[in-house]
Amino acid sequence: MERPQPDSMPQDLSEALKEATKEVHTQAENVEFMKNFQKGQVTRDGFKLVMASLYHIYVALEEEIERNKENPVYTPLYFPEELHRRAALEQDMAFWYGPHWQETIPYTAATRSYTRRLHTVGRTEPELLVAHAYTRYLGDLSGGQVLKKIAQKALDLPSSGEGLSFFTFPNIASATKFKQLYRARMNTLEMTPEVRRRVIEEAKTAFLLNIQLFEELQSLLTQDTEGWDQSPPAAAPGLRRREDSKVQGSIPTQMPSEKPKQNIFSRGPLVRWLLTLSFLVTTVAVGLYAM
Ligand code: HEM
């Protein structure tokens, strides 16, 4: 049996989504990675990681959008020229990772969970695709524009916008007007109350997938920096390169902060001195035993 909508639930899908994701949006703004970002505390390593994740996410999202572009559950929201980010992210990947980026960009576990969900939705529940498109594209046209300026300043990037193509929408003259159009289109989608309820739930899931991603990236960055001080860089669990290469390892980016790998012999004079002493003691002991 279908549950009735609470009286307070707005009629328009756009309003209902905004309302229902308010809390989880605040949560997303307040994860450590995002809080640091907003304060301008974003490193090249952190930025490269998040951009590579976005590349995988948009490849999956836009593959599913293409699959469903003629499905009436999605068609009114099909704006490839205005919105699609894959080509822009390819340019950014080349900027950040160089010409062989396809073989070297990381693909983290949380990114993989996100892309897996996108493919499941696109293939088996396309009526929920609107929730993912809403969460990403309207977010990119809102807070994304603030993040662009912060990154440009913090990372000292050229004003030409190189490395930040993802944040630039050359075919959208006014983000505010485009968002209005997009909301109006969302409101034309016909759906039963049950589907509407699932769409709203899926939007919250989409936000949670983003939150999990930021949490994972933060822990990878922290682990990696901690690793430098203690022992040879620890392999970051959950981080691998592209699926086909199946490579496990720590953040496969060129770390400006990277210190040379240490072995026991490079650990300083005390360790060397102790090793020499124990070698001498062993030699004398063996000599005495043989006498
Ligand atoms: C530092 C992090 C973030 C900041 C500063 C930020 C900021 C904003 C701002 C200022 C708006 C406009 C609100 C309005 O028009 O009333 C907005 C809207 C939005 N944001 Fe964010 N945001 C952040 C993170 C995120 C994340 C991680 C997501 C999801 C991936 C997201 C998704 C959205 C969506 C979907 C909207 C449109 C809401 C609507 O009008 O229905 N935001 N954000």
SS3 159: coil
Instruction: Give the pLDDT confidence score for residue 204 in this predicted structure.
Output: 98
Count the residues in the chain.
291
For the cut 80, the answer to whether the pLDDT of residue 234 exceeds it is no
For the cut 90, the answer to whether the pLDDT of residue 252 exceeds it is no
CA distance 201 to 211: 15
pLDDT, tens digit (0-9, with 9 covering 90-100), for 57-72? 999 999 999 999 999 9
Is any ligand 1 atom within 6 A of the Cβ of residue 126? no
User: What angle, rounded to 10 degrees, do the helices at 13-20 and 193-230 form?
Assistant: 40
Surface-to-core class of residue 107, CB atoms within 10 Å of its CB (0-12 exposed, 13-18 middle, 19+ buried): buried
Is any ligand 1 atom within 6 A of the Cβ of residue 183? no
Is any ligand 1 atom within 6 A of the Cβ of residue 23? no
For the cut 90, the answer to whether the pLDDT of residue 35 exceeds it is yes
Please state the φ and ψ torsions of residue 239, each to the nearest 5 degrees.
-115, 120
For the cut 60, the answer to whether the pLDDT of residue 167 exceeds it is yes
Is any ligand 1 atom within 6 A of the Cβ of residue 187? no
The set of long-range contacts for 176-184, using a CB threshold of 8 Å and a minimum separation of 24, is 178/82, 178/141, 179/138, 179/141, 179/142, 182/77, 182/79, 182/137, 182/138, 183/12, 183/14, 184/14
140 CA to centre of ligand 1 in angstroms: 8
**Could you tell me if 108 and 238 are in contact, meaning their C-beta atoms sit under 8 angstroms apart?**
yes
**Could you tell me if 154 and 40 are in contact, meaning their C-beta atoms sit under 8 angstroms apart?**
yes
Closest CA to ligand 1's atom 24: 29
For the cut 80, the answer to whether the pLDDT of residue 262 exceeds it is no
Closest CA to ligand 1's atom 41: 18
Structure tokens at 143: 């807070």
Sign of CA dihedral 125, 127, 132, 135: negative
Span of 69-78, 139-148, 173-182, 273-282 with lowest mean pLDDT: 273-282
Average pLDDT value for the chain: 83
Closest CA to ligand 1's atom 27: 28
For the cut 80, the answer to whether the pLDDT of residue 34 exceeds it is yes
Q: Which residue has the tokens 């997303």?
A: 28
For the cut 50, the answer to whether the pLDDT of residue 260 exceeds it is no
252 CA to centre of ligand 1 in angstroms: 30
Does residue 267 or residue 126 have the better pLDDT?
126
Instruction: Give the pLDDT confidence score for residue 9 in this predicted structure.
Output: 75
289 CA to centre of ligand 1 in angstroms: 76
Which of 119, 14, 108 minimizes the C-alpha distance to 66? 119
Is any ligand 1 atom within 6 A of the Cβ of residue 34? yes
Closest CA to ligand 1's atom 2: 29
pLDDT, tens digit (0-9, with 9 covering 90-100), for 137-161? 999 999 888 999 999 999 999 888 8
Which of 108, 130, 119 minimizes the C-alpha distance to 46? 108
For the cut 70, the answer to whether the pLDDT of residue 199 exceeds it is yes
Does residue 8 or residue 197 have the better pLDDT?
197
Instruction: Give the pLDDT confidence score for residue 250 in this predicted structure.
Output: 41
Q: What dihedral angle (degrees, nearest 10) is formed by the CA atoms of 225, 230, 231, 236? A: -40
Is any ligand 1 atom within 6 A of the Cβ of residue 25? yes
143 CA to centre of ligand 1 in angstroms: 5
Is any ligand 1 atom within 6 A of the Cβ of residue 57? no
Instruction: Give the pLDDT confidence score for residue 231 in this predicted structure.
Output: 35
Which secondary structure element, helix H or strand E, spans residue 30, and what is its range?
Answer: none
Instruction: Give the pLDDT confidence score for residue 281 in this predicted structure.
Output: 52
Is any ligand 1 atom within 6 A of the Cβ of residue 135? yes
Does residue 81 or residue 243 have the better pLDDT?
81
Is any ligand 1 atom within 6 A of the Cβ of residue 227? no
Is any ligand 1 atom within 6 A of the Cβ of residue 139? yes
Percentage above 90 pLDDT, the chain: 70
Is any ligand 1 atom within 6 A of the Cβ of residue 71? no
Determine the average pLDDT of the residues in 69-97: 98
Instruction: Give the pLDDT confidence score for residue 49 in this predicted structure.
Output: 98
Which of 186, 185, 151 minimizes the C-alpha distance to 168? 151
